[in-house]
Structure formats: structure tokens, C-alpha cells
A = this chain, B = another copy of it.
């Protein structure tokens, strides 16, 4: 082992410590984690650095399970399926889809946590004022509320909120973000005169906020979750076959808009 410390120090991590024959992850020998730690618990331990157990782990697992797929009309899934017919490996087909979970496709949960924190900090200013200052910065639409497809209700949201309530009753989480989300939902319903319900991004954001995640990790964990659907679709397409699958059947073309 060369001991030029500036080179080794260029790469610093609290995540993994390793010697030949020895791998410690977040301070735990890997062989002790294998067989004793669930995959969801491992996701949390690796990313957050602390163990998660019991009702909190159960709630985290529910969030991961809920967002695995929303079908091949989602651009990330469609792209991964097309990629699987282009002669690249499953890993690269998955990367193609994952790369598309950007601010618009994958960022609503992250933005919803930021919104909840904003409302929480507002405190005595009240919800109405907090939403006003939020909208002044970010525009009229509130991340985490409303859905262009699932009307009136996305079946995942009430189920997730129900689990949040159960977990809050055990004292394992504060429950404050569920209250904030419901208050926003009620405010929007009154404002618009019709329901603008909490959607899947808003509901998983409640869970991640309750568990103490920084906002950007709502996107990070969503990426881990949706990667499951991306793999499932890329593999199904691989088995279906096809070469250079385009977005529509080959008999269709595009509309030429030029002169």
C-alpha cells in the first residue's frame, strides 16, 4: 500500500471501510448485515448512515414499494424499453431511463418536502401566507398535489397516509408533515372549489419528511424505487424482442412543421 496520503485523502468516505478479507459498511461487517438486514433497511443505512428499524423501517419500505412503476407512457419507462432494443446492456438501458428522472419527471417529491418545510417554518404566519410566499417564488402549482390522470384519487396516496397515521400513533414519527399535507389539500380544495388531492409524490414526500430525509433524497429514493420498474420493463422488452423500437408503430411518422 502506497501511503501518499494526499491521493487517498482525495477520496474520503464514511460509507465503507475495507481491507483484504474485510468489508465494513457504515461500521458494520458486511457478513453480519447479510441475512439480518432487509434490502429496504440497507438502502436507508447506506444512504442516511444510521440504522432504521421497526415501524420506521416499515413505513420507509412502503414508500419504496409504492413508486416502482407508472407504466410505459412515462418517458423514463418508454426510453428504457426502446433502449433495450438498441443493442446495449440491461445496465445501460436502465441508466437511460434513470437519467430522465430529472426536476420535472423525478423532482416533485423533493419539491414537496421543500414546500412542507417552508409551511412548517412559517408557523404563526399561517398556511395561507406560507403558500403565498411559496407561490411568489415557485409559481402557482404546488408540488405533490393534483394528478392529470388519477381522478379523483390516486389509490396509493390514501393508503400511504393511512400507514403514516398508524406509525405516528406509535410515536415513531412526529406526524407533523401529514398534518401539513392535509392542511394544504384542504386549502386547495376550498380555493379551487374541487378536490386537488395529494398525489404519489406528495404522499411519499410526507413519509420521507417524517423520517427526517433531506429533500434531495426524496428524489434519490424515488430513483431507487422506480429503477425496479425500469428494470422490469427493460427486461420484458428484451424478451419481446424488436430492433430499434421507436415511439410509435413504424407505419406512423411525424408531422413536418417546416415551410
Contact = CB atoms under 8 A, between A and B. Distances in A.
Q: How many copies does the complex hold?
A: 4
Contact of A15 (B5, B96, B233): B233
Interface string A134-155: 0000000000000011111111
A47 B29 CA distance: 30
A66 B256 CA distance: 20
Interface residues of A, number: 128
B229 A15 contact: yes
Interface in A34-73: 34-35, 37-40, 42-43, 46-47, 58, 61-62, 64-66, 68-73
Given A11-B255, A39-B65, 13 more contacts: A1-B253, A4-B4, A11-B254, A16-B71, A16-B256, A18-B70, A20-B150, A38-B61, A42-B65, A46-B68, A83-B99, A90-B216, A90-B217
A23 to B, nearest CB: 6
A121 to B, nearest CB: 21
